[in-house]
Structure 1
Amino acid sequence: MKINHQKEIKLWIILVAILLSVTSAFSQPLWETMKNEKDVLKLSVWFRAQDVDQYLANKDGLNSAISWCKKYGITKVYLEAYGRGLYANRETLLNSKERFLNEGFEVASGATTEYGPDEFDIFHCYTHKRHQEELQRISEYAASLFDEVILDDWYFTNCECADCIHARGDQSWSKYYTDLMLKMSEERVLKPARAVNPNVKMIIKYPQWNDEYHTRGYDVVRESKVFDGIWVGTEGRQFDYEKSEGYEIGYNAYFNMRWLANFGSIGGAWFDTGRARTKIPTYLEQARHTILGEGDEVILWCYGGHLEATPKIEALSEELPGLIKLANLVQGKPIKGVQLLKPGNSDSFEETWVCSFLGELGIPFVPVSDVDEEAMAVVFPVQSLKDPGFIRKFQHVADRGTPILVTDGLAKRMTANPAYLNNVNVKTLPVKGSPKALLNMTREEIKTYRDHLLAPFGMKFDAPARVELYLFGENMFVVENINDEAVDVTLELPKVSTVNKALILPESGSSAEVSLSGKTVKMTISAHTLVAVGVK
């Protein structure tokens, strides 16, 4: 019986090896396609430190990981040196790095500065010297092994221990946190990492929760300048009106990409499986919003998580050819539309995530961090008050006859200048302290504000909430319907003779009827569908 059992084990090993080789052979076309298209769109995957030690420590696990990556068109891997209290084994990291490089992959690293799942608040106290020293050790370890390191978005602090309270003094928490984390970045991350490896490129990854950056120590204005690059979180979830945060709605990913580009060079974005909270359509919308935001590299977080989400990665691999087409359509084209102001490190008061919800009203936005006094149309949310010269700039923009939309949260804080709000060019949007309630506006209510803003462009767009409009260059627009049902929409243009349906995503199982009547483009778009339309 023992001999037979051993024979069975050998037979299974042989069968697994054959299956892996067959899978690899049949998946080569997608991998080769992605390698050829890497300057347009690159797909990467993140191996957590735990993934490194669990899956890459032996030959079989490493072989499986390589085959899996090739099957799904992944051409770059990030081998996390540290994460969640674990330093990945140095030998495993080096062996895996060498093997992936030999197989034709690009290889980089990262670090997730979380001490452990049960000590969240303790580790995020950078007032304590021992935590500062641990941060330095993490940075040195990663830089000693790799030339490119991304600092994951657990690199923040929200500690309010007695030592932090004492060190803060009379400063606001935001001021204390941002000054502290800038100092940590310079003294405990960048300086020691570069001392260990002068060639290392250290990148900061910002989370998707942009309205809370400064309240947890992220200073997009100053930190973006000292790091070698920026990465962006573009995770999305099924939006539950009663439970979800605003940063989980689809448009937030696009806004995050475009807004953060005001502060530095964007390397790419990443999203995760979302587990049960992200169904396949929303999972794919994460990728579309990332590419609409001109992201040319997407990191899948993470390898272990995606092994348990085969239907999602299968759907993504099926959509990759279409995503490449989308990237080719939008990359390098300037975005046009209404400027949406959000200065860096600005307080959102009662209007947290308002920018993300505004994008779901079908208004084509250009996210900006500074007031452009020559803008064709502008939306000023309450965050605008961060600009010390805002009132003067507001008056100048209004006096030029520029259509302006202000949120009521901003309006009530401009009581010292009521005449500005009475300008015929200014309308006030009733957010009423509940930004997500904008999703409940009727299409007629939305149209009133949208028509006001689009008038200088000679455009009118008619659509319900959760239908997004993007303008690229002079001759293309994109409409994405993130509703669970089909919608009928129209876009009136100042001049048009023909329209061309350039792309539909997903390319199978969806529909988008596009027709032209005079100057009006009529569209019927299925649920969770994107359509790109060329115009002449």
Structure 2
Amino acid sequence: MNRALRVAACAALLSLPLTALLVPPTAAARATPSTAASTYQNFRVAIYIAVTSTRQLADKATFDREFERAMRQTHFNKVYLEVYRNHVFATDEEVTRVKKWFEEKGVQVSGGITLAAGGEGGQFGTFDYEKPADREECAKAAALAAKHFDDVILDDFFFYASKSDADIAAKGNRSWTQYRLETMRQVARDLVLKPAKAANPKVRMIIKYPNWYEHFQGAGYDLEQESQDFDAIYTGTETRDPVITDQLLQQYESYEIYRYYSNIRPTDAKGGVGNGGGWVDTYSTLYVDRYAEQLWDTLFAKAPEITLFNWRPMSEAEAVKPGDRQAWANLPTSFRWQEMVSGYKAGAQANDPGPGWGRAAGYALETVDKDLGKLGKPIGIASYKPYQSSGEDFLHNYLGTIGIPIELSPKFPTNADVALLTQAAAQDPKIVDEIKGNLVAGKTVVITSGLLSALKGKGIEDIAEVWDTGRKVAIHDFINGYGAGNGDSLNDPAHDGVSDSRPAVLFPEIHYYTNDSWPIIRGVANAKGFPILLMNRYSKGVLYVLTMPDNPGDLYNLPQGLVTEIKKYLQQDFPVRLDSPDHVSLFAYDNDTFVVESFRDQPVPVTLSLLGQGVHLRNLSTNAAITAAPAAAPKDGKFRRDNVAARTDFGVTVQPHSYQVFKIER
């Protein structure tokens, strides 16, 4: 179903009563996860309470009613009790009262503040940190929270978007990015941390970073110094709707952003958690499975805590709607709406509306908890995003959504056998020397066409005389291999010979010298070839230039055969790789386990290629052994790299908006 139809259908569904939306259970239905309160084995659950709700909960009848509904639907271990947002303060008496009541229920209570100043027309407003009154209010909020709590989290509005006359004068000749970064470092130290520590020397101040990390520096968010000044960080893993979005939020980001931030602030030598958890909200969710996917992917990244934003949808007397999920409503998906509804236990109060967002969260968390303990430490293709860098925005998340697992770090991957570098790496002034170092050490380095263009005239020519011509070409035919008249078509068989039925994809034209570089994979348009994956040998290593579509979303329009062939080079010795359509992601771990998750609307066949000959595969979700596919006939090695490791293939089917957990048995 296309997005326009999906939105229209969702609007119609949201107007229906809950009972009209129930579907009969499938024959293959699993046991319903328990609706009784139970402690999760592999993570903690917190709910963030915005200051308006904090003040309302100071009424005991309101607290008792809302607590009962929230806890009955999702067993939570903790709340973050907000004391300030948008010029609204909770009183000392309100905070003390609500904190006491939660603690009497056995729930841990931490503090929260949102240093925001309202806004208009849906656009967020920030403090003007050149304005004395705003600076005073910022410090007052930090001190109030620290007075009452030993742990305080900042919601993700600690950025700077004001351009008042005072800001313009203070900026001077600096760029807005430089001015805002320098200002917010000072604000963090003098107006947040200093007053908080003065009010409570034991307080741990935690900064939550949101999901738009590519653009942080332009608004003063600092992942370099600021993330180390605070006692810990937290991750906004909400990705919401991936199509109707102004922030380029692809599904894979709920996993990848937590991994990136954990490499910025890892667990310290004493075991202290640097990245405390992931944070998901209910906004812009067209179907309930999309909400569950965000929770699952955060936890697949091994977040120790998940925070649900916010108290209102978790506790309000309102039923959640399934949304636009008719296409898979009767399939055995990971989130089973009917099981969630039929297993719901109504409260003692009259007119119970049925399961709400809290029960949707509880069901999704119970579902994934049984699988997480089987998974080891996440692994992926090493990639590099320096601090304060931007370029080929959020490309890693698009790559993850086509099935390439990414482990993103702010440090150059010196020891990685394969390093993937995007345009953001150009922020590092030593990047060409670092690339050379890996190549001389016999490693493989893959750079995108965006990085190639950004490094023009900066020394990349000393490795390979390859450059972006500045011209564009629309391509819909793709070939594997090289040599006059040679190569295999990588087009989808259903479209081969009917090229006009596929959308053309716009690529930059990359120039190279024949026999110095080799176009291992190429596109063909009107009797001219264009490199998609270009190979150049340097010292003991291999440099690949991967040509990216001008629109990263066009990665989803590339033939499956082309994407699979690219994966073979990026993941030559990786334990598992996927041959699948787009919107099927892979999460891999260091204990020979992995997760395959489909974000598609229909069941999808997937081929799992495992490293090694004669290995076995078990589906841990069902405990069933998977039968290996017959070995493919060997192809002419002329068009393949030397010393390709043996692999064993397995075929599986993944249900829509669902995941499966697998174990490689050797």
Q: Structure 2 unaligned runs (5+)?
A: 1-32, 266-273, 321-354, 465-516, 518-535, 632-647
1:414 and 2:423 correspond: no
Question: How many Å separate the matches in 2 of 1:132 and 1:244?
Answer: 33
Residue 461 (structure 1) aligned to one of 572, 578, 581 = 578
1:49 aligns with 51
Question: How many Å separate the matches in 2 of 1:203 and 1:141?
Answer: 15
1:500 and 2:508 correspond: no
Question: How many Å separate the matches in 1 of 2:625 and 2:159?
Answer: 46
Post-superposition Cα deviations, 1:382-421, rounded to whole Å, max 9, x if no partner, equal 0001222101011222344433322211111222223534
2:421 aligns with 380
Q: CA deviation at 1:435?
A: 2.0
Residue 94 (structure 1) aligned to one of 88, 93, 96 = 96
Taking a change above 3 Å as real, the CA distance of residues 136 and 281 of structure 1, as seen in their structure-2 partners, is: same
Q: CA deviation at 1:514?
A: 4.6
1:397 and 2:514 correspond: no
Post-superposition Cα deviations, 1:67-86, rounded to whole Å, max 9, x if no partner, equal 12321211211111011221
1:136 aligns with 139
Taking a change above 3 Å as real, the CA distance of residues 42 and 447 of structure 1, as seen in their structure-2 partners, is: same
Per the alignment, in what secondary structure is the counterpart of residue 571 of structure 2? Answer: helix
Q: CA deviation at 1:370?
A: 1.4
Structure 1 contact 236–278 (Cα < 8 Å) conserved: no
Question: How many Å separate the matches in 1 of 2:47 and 2:422?
Answer: 36
1:177 aligns with 180
Q: CA deviation at 1:459?
A: 5.2
- The one-letter code sitting in structure 1 at the alignment partner of 2:654 is I
Residue 298 (structure 2) aligned to one of 290, 296, 305 = 290
- The one-letter code sitting in structure 2 at the alignment partner of 1:463 is S
Structure 2 contact 252–401 (Cα < 8 Å) conserved: yes
Structure 1 contact 398–420 (Cα < 8 Å) conserved: no
Post-superposition Cα deviations, 1:272-307, rounded to whole Å, max 9, x if no partner, equal 1115x3421110011111111111211111111333
Per the alignment, in what secondary structure is the counterpart of residue 262 of structure 1? Answer: helix
Per the alignment, in what secondary structure is the counterpart of residue 83 of structure 2? Answer: strand
Structure 2 contact 119–125 (Cα < 8 Å) conserved: no
1:358 aligns with 399
Q: CA deviation at 1:352?
A: 1.3
1:75 aligns with 77
Q: Structure 1 unaligned runs (5+)?
A: 1-26
Segment of structure 1 superposing worse, 85-94 or 257-266: 85-94
Per the alignment, in what secondary structure is the counterpart of residue 373 of structure 1? Answer: coil
Residue 266 (structure 1) aligned to one of 253, 275, 281 = 275
1:319 and 2:364 correspond: yes
1:371 aligns with 412
Segment of structure 1 superposing worse, 207-216 or 81-90: 81-90
Residue 279 (structure 1) aligned to one of 287, 302, 305 = 287
Post-superposition Cα deviations, 1:49-88, rounded to whole Å, max 9, x if no partner, equal 011122x121111101221232121121111101122112
Question: How many Å separate the matches in 2 of 1:395 and 1:245?
Answer: 37
Taking a change above 3 Å as real, the CA distance of residues 96 and 224 of structure 1, as seen in their structure-2 partners, is: same
Question: How many Å separate the matches in 1 of 2:452 and 2:615?
Answer: 41
Taking a change above 3 Å as real, the CA distance of residues 453 and 326 of structure 1, as seen in their structure-2 partners, is: same
Per the alignment, in what secondary structure is the counterpart of residue 100 of structure 2? Answer: helix
- The one-letter code sitting in structure 1 at the alignment partner of 2:195 is P
Residue 342 (structure 1) aligned to one of 385, 391, 410 = 385
Bigger relative contact order (CA 8 A; separation at least 6): 2
- The one-letter code sitting in structure 1 at the alignment partner of 2:436 is Q
Per the alignment, in what secondary structure is the counterpart of residue 582 of structure 2? Answer: coil
Structure 1 contact 262–368 (Cα < 8 Å) conserved: yes
Structure 2 contact 126–161 (Cα < 8 Å) conserved: no
Structure 1 contact 235–272 (Cα < 8 Å) conserved: yes
Segment of structure 1 superposing worse, 385-394 or 518-527: 518-527
Question: How many Å separate the matches in 2 of 1:487 and 1:465?
Answer: 10
Structure 1 contact 270–300 (Cα < 8 Å) conserved: yes
Question: How many Å separate the matches in 2 of 1:458 and 1:329?
Answer: 17
Q: CA deviation at 1:515?
A: 3.7
- The one-letter code sitting in structure 2 at the alignment partner of 1:454 is Q
Question: How many Å separate the matches in 1 of 2:46 and 2:385?
Answer: 30
1:253 and 2:246 correspond: no
- Let me know the Cα RMSD of the aligned residues: 2.3
Taking a change above 3 Å as real, the CA distance of residues 30 and 418 of structure 1, as seen in their structure-2 partners, is: farther
1:207 and 2:210 correspond: yes
Taking a change above 3 Å as real, the CA distance of residues 326 and 175 of structure 1, as seen in their structure-2 partners, is: farther
Per the alignment, in what secondary structure is the counterpart of residue 484 of structure 1? Answer: coil
Q: CA deviation at 1:318?
A: 2.0
1:7 aligns with none
Query: Which structure has the larger Rg over C-alpha atoms?
Result: 2
1:17 aligns with none
Q: CA deviation at 1:147?
A: 1.3
Within-5 A mapping of 1:3-14: none
Question: How many Å separate the matches in 2 of 1:415 and 1:388?
Answer: 13
Aligned length: 492
1:224 aligns with 227
Return the TM-score normalized by structure 1: 0.87
**Whose helix fraction is larger, Structure 1's or Structure 2's?**
1
Structure 1 contact 246–352 (Cα < 8 Å) conserved: no
Question: How many Å separate the matches in 2 of 1:134 and 1:259?
Answer: 32
State, as a whole percentage, how many aligned pairs show the same letter: 26
Structure 1 contact 231–268 (Cα < 8 Å) conserved: yes
- The one-letter code sitting in structure 1 at the alignment partner of 2:249 is E
Structure 1 contact 296–327 (Cα < 8 Å) conserved: no
Q: CA deviation at 1:245?
A: 3.8
Return the TM-score normalized by structure 2: 0.70
Structure 1 contact 84–113 (Cα < 8 Å) conserved: yes
- The one-letter code sitting in structure 1 at the alignment partner of 2:211 is Q
- The one-letter code sitting in structure 2 at the alignment partner of 1:269 is G
Post-superposition Cα deviations, 1:175-196, rounded to whole Å, max 9, x if no partner, equal 1111111110100000110101
Taking a change above 3 Å as real, the CA distance of residues 245 and 467 of structure 1, as seen in their structure-2 partners, is: farther
Structure 1 contact 94–145 (Cα < 8 Å) conserved: yes
1:525 and 2:654 correspond: yes
Q: CA deviation at 1:233?
A: 0.3
Structure 2 contact 126–157 (Cα < 8 Å) conserved: no
Taking a change above 3 Å as real, the CA distance of residues 406 and 323 of structure 1, as seen in their structure-2 partners, is: same
Structure 1 contact 78–109 (Cα < 8 Å) conserved: yes
Post-superposition Cα deviations, 1:152-211, rounded to whole Å, max 9, x if no partner, equal 101101222222222122222221111111110100000110101111111000001110
Per the alignment, in what secondary structure is the counterpart of residue 239 of structure 1? Answer: coil
Q: CA deviation at 1:448?
A: 2.4
Per the alignment, in what secondary structure is the counterpart of residue 412 of structure 2? Answer: coil
Structure 2 contact 242–248 (Cα < 8 Å) conserved: no
